[in-house]
Amino acid sequence: MTDWTDGYVADITYTHGYYSELNPLRMRLALLYAGIRPPTVDTACELGFGQGMSINLHAATSATQWHGTDFNPSQAGFAQELAQASGSNAHLFDEAFADFCARSNLPDFDFIGLHGIWSWISDDNRQSIVDFIRRRLKVGGVLYVSYNTQPGWAAMVPLRELLARHTEVLGMKGQEISQRIDTALDFSGKLFDANPAFARANPQVAERLKKIREQNRHYLAHEYFNRDWHPMSFARMGEWLAPAKIDYACSANYLDHIDVLNLTAQQQTLLKDIPHPMFRQLVRDFCINQQFRRDFWVKGARPLNTLEQAELLRTERCVLAQPRAQVSLRANGNLGEATLQEAIYAPVLDALADHQPRTLTELEQAVKRQSITFAQLLQAVIVLSGNGALAPAQNEAAIAQAKETSKRLNLYLMTKARSSNEASYLASPVTGGGMTVPRFHQLFMLAASQGHKTPQDWAQYVWHLLTLQGQRIVKKDKTLDTPEDNLAELSAQAQTFADHDLPILKALQVA
């Protein structure tokens, strides 16, 4: 019998995560900052969409026509369910990469995204994907790909093999993968307790193992326990993608663009003296011990001149996606935590405090009296976007067009939240993507949509749902036992939600 999994873990489903780098709208600012002309994205594709949260949130919140596949029929079924609920007309399949990539009825794409796929598939599947990119990515189109990379994973490779081999040769047949993972982790802990020479030579691995033990078993199954697991250097990645005729553009991680957060002055000088852009990236990975890359590649990149870049940047729109008072004036890079200049960042945040989209031109005018230059404004927008405080914003016509499909998808997800906390994201037609909304917040919104008017009414609605399922609130690692304590806690959370979170979700048209 043919193994349809092709070595990939299939007996435990992937997490219901959302990955903003797959949002084509987010790609624009990164490319413009790097001096490259971004494409207009009418058609997009996600390969290996998992539970389909990202592809459905992006399809529901934009006019982009999405196609995608995931080999796991259970995950594809859930993704198709979301697409049907929203009415986005996303075309989602449960085909292996080789079968999907060979389809003759697919359009050419402006954007192709792969998150959490490249490092965990076979060379044959990688070859199918590269050929697909060569044939289906339009000239000027963008590839987003994330992958485990060297040298950051060098010390972890032996431990990963140990974990995987343990589940293969010592794991009990018929035992669930999560149980085999626990057994493998327990064994590895005993090994490190025995103080092997490997642990003494690689002291950071013991700390990595400790963090692994704390992580979600669904995530660990797909991260470490597939047959194929290949951290790849940037140089090797370039060799793989060369036949697709695409070139490296820039990092999809906004904070990577700010050298002072990640590189010492000596390292910056070293990199500036390297004329070859690909080799420069390889050396940069050594400087920061890179272990995970999130990159944009472009087919036929067209550089912008200084005037074109400045004009296009000024048309970009952004919106404040967090409460103004909660935005931290700190940023974390490879060099640690840095304090942001309040004289620059506070006026920018104040100009966005009403959570309405602004172009960079409008922000430039708003902060002009504080003598903030456009270069300073732009860097502030990049850093705040990298921190998650800011999100890209669509134009008003696109927002209006996406409003109904976003509303339908959100209603479906909020209804699912009555019995599940797996999907913690809802759709924003303003940002063209997903926003983090925890389960109880979704249920408060669902209660409001059904006519319950006050936070106390919302709390009663949620408590009724929890009671039906025998569930209780856990606060500070302690389960609240009495109905009075549970209802009091829910009421407090509902009031805080109404005061602080709901106004933002309304501005972003999530609520």
User: How far apart are the C-alpha atoms of 304 and 36, rounded to whole Å?
Assistant: 6
Taking the mean position of all CA atoms in its chain, how far away is CA 214? 20
Domain at 327, CATH number:
3.90.930
Asked if the structure places residue 216 within a domain, the reply is yes
Q: Are residues 207 and 258 in the same domain?
A: no
Nearest to 384 by CA among 252, 509, 254: 254
Domain assignment present for 414? no
Spatial neighbors of 240 by CB under 8 A, at least 6 apart, are 126, 130, 232
Please indicate, yes or no, whether residues 366 and 473 belong to a single structural domain of this protein. Answer: no
Evaluate the CA torsion angle 66, 70, 76, 78 in order and state its sign: negative
pLDDT at 10: 45
Look at residue 160 in the predicted model and tell me its pLDDT. 85
14 pLDDT above the threshold of 70: no
Mean pLDDT over 226-244 rounds to 90
| Token couple for 314 | 């000024």
In a domain, 13, yes or no: no
Judge if 109 and 194 occupy the same domain: no
Q: What is the mean pLDDT of residues 283-299?
A: 97
Residue whose C-alpha is closest to residue 6's, from 88, 117, 122, 126:
122
- The mean predicted confidence, pLDDT, of the chain is 93
| Same domain for 349 and 385 | yes
Lowest mean pLDDT among 9-23, 82-96, 109-123, 433-447: 9-23
Indicate whether 141 and 268 sit together in one domain.
Answer: yes
pLDDT at 7: 45
> Mind listing the pLDDT tens digit for each residue in 380-434?
999 999 999 999 999 999 999 999 999 999 999 999 999 999 999 999 999 999 9
**Which domain-ending residue is among 272, 298, 324?**
298
pLDDT mean over 253-265: 97
Domain membership flag for residue 307: no
Structural domain ending residue among the three candidates 224, 242, 266 = 224
In the predicted structure, residue 174 carries a pLDDT above the cut 70: no
**In terms of domains, do 178 and 269 share one?**
no
Whether 303 is in a domain gets the answer no
* Percent composition of the chain: helix, strand, coil (DSSP 3-state, to 5): 50, 15, 35
For residue range 441-473, what is the model confidence (pLDDT) as tens digits?
A: 999 999 999 999 999 999 999 999 999 999 999
Q: Specify the pLDDT at position 426.
A: 98
Same domain membership, residue 166 and residue 96: no
- The verdict on residue 120 lying in a domain is yes
- The pLDDT assigned to 132 comes to 98
Strands 43-47 and 91-93: unpaired
Q: What is the pLDDT of residue 305?
A: 97
Cβ-contact 62, 90 below 8 angstroms? no
In a domain, 422, yes or no: no
Place of tokens 């965990």: 120
Q: How is residue 183 written in tokens?
A: 């057994």
**pLDDT confidence band for 222 (50 / 70 / 90):** low
Is 124 found in the same domain as 34? yes
Q: What is the pLDDT of residue 4?
A: 39
From the CB of residue 15, how many other CB atoms can be counted at a distance below 10 Å?
16
Nearest to 229 by CA among 165, 143, 144, 295: 165
Q: What is the CATH number of the domain that holds 236?
A: 3.40.50.150
Q: How many domains does the chain have?
A: 4
pTM of the model: 0.89
Q: What is the pLDDT of residue 169?
A: 79
How far is CA 437 from its chain centroid?
A: 15
Amino acid 257: pLDDT: 97
Confidence at 176, pLDDT banded by 50, 70, 90: confident
For residue 483 the two structure tokens come to 């109905």
Least trusted range by pLDDT, from 43-57, 140-154, 221-235, 356-370: 221-235
Asked if 145 and 162 sit in the same domain, the reply is: no
Whole-number Cα distances in Å, 114 to 97, 111, 144, 327: 12, 10, 6, 30
Assess contact for 5 and 70: CB atoms under 8 A.
no
The domain of 100 spans: 20-151+229-298
56 and 142, same domain (yes or no): yes
Decide: 277 and 351 in contact? Cβ < 8 Å.
no
Give the per-residue pLDDT at 1. Answer: 34
Q: What percent of the chain shows pLDDT beyond 70?
A: 96
Show which of 298, 328, 357 is a domain's final residue: 298
Dihedral-angle region of residue 423 (phi above 0 means left; psi in -120 to 50 means alpha; beta otherwise): beta
Q: Is residue 417 part of a domain?
A: no
Q: Which amino acid is at 69?
A: T
DSSP assigned state of 171: S
pLDDT bin (cut points 50, 70, 90) of residue 509 is very high
Q: Are residues 161 and 197 in the same domain?
A: yes
Q: What single DSSP character describes residue 91?
A: E
Residues 234 and 220 in one domain: no
